[in-house]
Amino acid sequence: MHSLFSQVQIGRLTLSNRMVMAPMTRSRSDDSGVPTELVPTYYAQRAGAGLIISEGVFPVALGKGYVRTPGIETAEQVAAWKQVSEAVHARGGRIFMQLMHCGRISHPSLLPDGSLPQAPSAIKPTGQTWTASGLQDFVTPHALSVVEIAAVIEGYRQAARLAIEAGFDGVELHAASGYLPEQFLSTSSNQRTDEYGGSVENRARFVLEVLNAMATEIGSDRVGIKLSPEMNFNDIVDANPQETYTWLVEQLRGLNLAYLQLPCSAPASTTTPCCARCSMAAT
């Protein structure tokens, strides 16, 4: 157990212990995506972890997927998040902001001017999302043009910068759980025929371009990524996940990110140590 309480290096940070608080949606923001006064207290109470990863934060308003979730796009949002980072740092903690663009996992009632959710292809997912009026069926999303993809990537870049301005120690790209980055990665949700679809290299292009944009803005050693191969959450399926994620992770090696986060998939009966099967480790 002593290893759990020993220091570990994550990018440019030295964490006081190896316990990491996972991101969990709290829905404690107002309708404009500004965290309420409950949020600094909530995170400060958990600052004893070596690292906190915040709840999913939409980088742009069109990335919102659930009611009362927070953003990092406006001055009001930045000011509210600064109170959170200061509260965590005051107790000796470290905190990364998880950037979560939900893509097609959203609903027009949650988006500016009732816009359609964004996605790589106009394929309606099965399921529902929480809105102000309760659960609503997903709709057929808007397929992003190449110009619109560039704007989304720019939104991630600006969000990374604003997270640092708000006092966060780094950012995590949520590329799991069926949200926009995984929608580009997966064959069931990406049926494009341009440079962002088809081959694994093309389907991974969006994720790599987002990571490069954020790393260029704030430094790769302050950027992490979360992946969830074969999780199949939010109606996401890939025809060959082993090929997709093996290729993607090989590309991540050259980016010098702070960490790669993978879900634990080791069955209870396995003889392989869990730490060899899943990781939150430097790439």
> Which residues does the annotation mark as catalytic?
179
SS (H, E, C) the chain: CHHHHCCEEECCEEECCCCEECCCCCCCECCCCCECCHHHHHHHCCCCCCEEEEEEEECCHHHCCCCCCCECCCHHHHHHHHHHHHHHHHCCCCEEEEECCCCCCCCHHHCHHHCCCEECCCCCCCCEEEECCEEEECCCCEECCHHHHHHHHHHHHHHHHHHHHCCCCEEEEECCCCCHHHHHHCCCCCCCCCCCCCCHHHHCHHHHHHHHHHHHHHCHHHEEEECCCCCCCCCCCCCCHHHHHHHHHHHHHHHCCCEEECCCCCCCCCCCCHHHHCCEECC
Q: Which of 102, 137, 78, 83 is nearest to 25 (CA)?
A: 102
In whole angstroms, give the CA distance from residue 44 to residue 166. Answer: 15
Asked if residues 102 and 67 have their Cβ atoms less than 8 Å apart, the reply is no
